[in-house]
Amino acid sequence: MSQTTLPEDIFDVRKRERFLQEGLLTQDQVDAYLSSLEDCADNMETSAIQMVSHGRVRGNISFEDGGPEEDEG
């Protein structure tokens, strides 16, 4: 079965291992599919998140700075 006749959801990461084990999919088909995907790295955005636990701020994580920031108070 060629890659062009396979439904795209057969490559879904949540199903792929089972399909490989059952012989419905080969590793070569997976590799060909993954290499055919567009590189969307330029579309990503970085953002800062704030971890909150029990109503108290534990720390701010900024990916731009590379790690958590200390609480001011």
Q: What is the pLDDT of residues 21-65, one digit of tens each?
A: 999 999 999 999 999 999 999 999 999 988 777 655 556 655 555
Helix (H, G, I), strand (E, B) or coil at 68: strand
CA distances from 43 to 27, 28, 38, 52 (A): 28, 28, 11, 28
CA distances from 42 to 28, 45, 56 (A): 27, 8, 35
Q: Which position has the higher pLDDT, 53 or 70?
A: 53
Q: Which position has the higher pLDDT, 44 or 72?
A: 44
The pTM of the full predicted model, rounded to 2 decimals, is: 0.50
